[in-house]
Amino acid sequence: MKDCLFCNIAKKEVSSDIVYEDEQFVVFADINPQAPLHLLIIPRKHIHSIDHIEEKDKELMGSLILTAKKVARQHNLAGYKLHFNVGKEGGQVIDHIHLHLLADRK
Ligand code: 5GP
Ligand code: ZN
């Protein structure tokens, strides 16, 4: 999507601190970290929010979680938090699905 910030980060048209990327996903540092390590995991595919996923996105969403695990392992994290904000009332500001990964140490 042309005017979507996270689509543009995925395309590297907007710069960010990318820590992992593959064909389907991009993982980058949150610009306003809420923990010592705060990453955002996004699919390259533009999906508005969890409220917009469909049956056909099942595999993609499973792989999104596996990507979170992979990146956590790469950072040697003993534990971490994963969360989705869903919809404006749920605290979602950027309308491109993203999984927050937060950990107490870098
Ligand atoms: P939400 O509230 O939508 O779940 O989370 C959006 C997140 O994106 C926020 O934690 C915010 O700090 C982060 N963010 C907003 N704009 C940018 C940006 O331009 N670059 C990066 N790296 N993160 C951003
Ligand atoms: Zn997008």
* Domain interval for residue 21: 5-103
Q: How confident is the model at residue 13 (pLDDT cuts 50, 70, 90)?
A: very high
CATH number, position 67 = 3.30.428.10
Q: What is the pLDDT of residues 38-75, one digit of tens each?
A: 999 999 999 999 999 999 999 999 999 999 999 999 99
The residue nearest atom 17 of ligand 1, judged by CA position, is 31
Q: Is the pLDDT of residue 86 over 90?
A: yes
Task: Choose, from 48, 75, 98, 100, the residue flagged as catalytic.
Answer: 98
Tally of residues, the chain: 106
Phi-psi region at 25: left, alpha or beta (left = phi > 0; alpha = psi -120 to 50): beta
Other C-beta atoms closer than 10 Å to the C-beta of 68 total 20
E strands present in 22-79: 25-29, 37-43
Domain tally, the chain: 1
